């Protein structure tokens, strides 16, 4: 991954792709004010330089039967770097955990967990999370509803 300096056109491309990753190159180029071939080259450069790290579909979890979202605050016994890394590696194997953030403060990690129902989360909590090595405490918060869910950084703040 090489470091590339980006300009206003690149920012517009990033903004538009973040908003609609299925946008055609022609539409993307039109919105950026350039022709299609240089737009495609810019997109490839943004991918190669690590500004664009992937593309995905936004899947409706409830439509697939995943109706429960939980935020679990995890505190560990040890904060030695190798113990933190060991926990992060363990989390990679838990499919229900969709996000893992290391935090500063009273909570060491914040996990976003998506489960089919409350019972399946409780099984995960008792058989995997709380029984994991080095886990001292877990505080679970059930999500009532989601009122905002935007991907990526607020690029529009740079564009203004």
Query: For the purposes of burial, counting CB atoms within 10 Å of the CB of 47, is it exposed (0-12), middle (13-18) or buried (19 or more)?
Result: middle
pLDDT band at 77 (very low <50, low <70, confident <90, very high): very high
pLDDT cut 90: percent of the chain above it: 92
User: Are residue 87 and residue 107 in the same domain, yes or no?
Assistant: yes
What are the residues whose beta carbons fall under 8 Å from the beta carbon of 67, sequence distance 6 or more? Answer: 61, 116, 117
pLDDT of residue 2: 57
User: Are residue 53 and residue 73 in the same domain, yes or no?
Assistant: no
Return the ∠ at Cα 95 (arms to 90 and 100), rounded to 5°: 60
Residue 48: which CATH number? 1.10.10.10
Domain contains 157: no
User: Are residue 52 and residue 70 in the same domain, yes or no?
Assistant: no
Answer whether 32's CB lies under 8 Å from 16's CB: yes
**For residue 76, what are the β-bridge partners?**
135
pLDDT cut 70: percent of the chain above it: 98
Q: Measuring CA to CA, which residue among 95, 122, 120, 100 is closest to residue 111?
A: 100
Distance CA 69, CA 61 (A): 10
Per-residue pLDDT, averaged over 10-33, amounts to 96
pTM score of the predicted model: 0.87
Domain contains 158: no
- At residue 37, does pLDDT exceed 80? yes
User: Are residue 46 and residue 112 in the same domain, yes or no?
Assistant: no
Domain contains 123: yes
User: Are residue 105 and residue 48 in the same domain, yes or no?
Assistant: no
User: Are residue 89 and residue 40 in the same domain, yes or no?
Assistant: no
Q: How many domains, in total, are found in the chain?
A: 2
pLDDT band at 159 (very low <50, low <70, confident <90, very high): confident
Tell me the pairing of strands 135-142 and 97-102.
unpaired
- Return the number of other C-beta atoms located less than 10 Å from residue 110's C-beta: 15
Residue 91: which CATH number? 3.30.70.920
Residue 86, domain extent: 62-142
Domain contains 44: yes
User: Are residue 132 and residue 74 in the same domain, yes or no?
Assistant: yes
């Amino acid at each position: 991954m090489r470091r590339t300096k980006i300009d206003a056109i690149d920012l517009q491309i990033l903004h538009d792709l973040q908003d609609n990753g299925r946008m055609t190159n022609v539409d993307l180029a039109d919105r950026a004010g350039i022709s299609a071939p240089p737009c495609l080259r810019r997109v490839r450069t943004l991918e190669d330089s690590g500004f664009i790290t992937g593309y995905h579909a936004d899947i409706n979890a409830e439509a697939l039967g995943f109706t429960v979202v939980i935020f679990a605050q995890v505190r560990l016994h040890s904060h030695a770097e190798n113990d933190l890394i060991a926990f992060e590696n363990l989390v990679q194997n838990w499919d229900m955990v969709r996000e893992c953030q290391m935090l500063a403060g009273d909570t060491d990690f914040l996990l976003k967990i998506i489960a089919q129902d409350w019972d399946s989360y409780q099984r995960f909590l008792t058989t995997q999370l709380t029984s994991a090595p080095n886990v001292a405490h877990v505080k679970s918060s059930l999500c009532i509803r989601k009122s905002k869910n935007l991907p990526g950084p607020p690029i529009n703040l740079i564009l203004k």
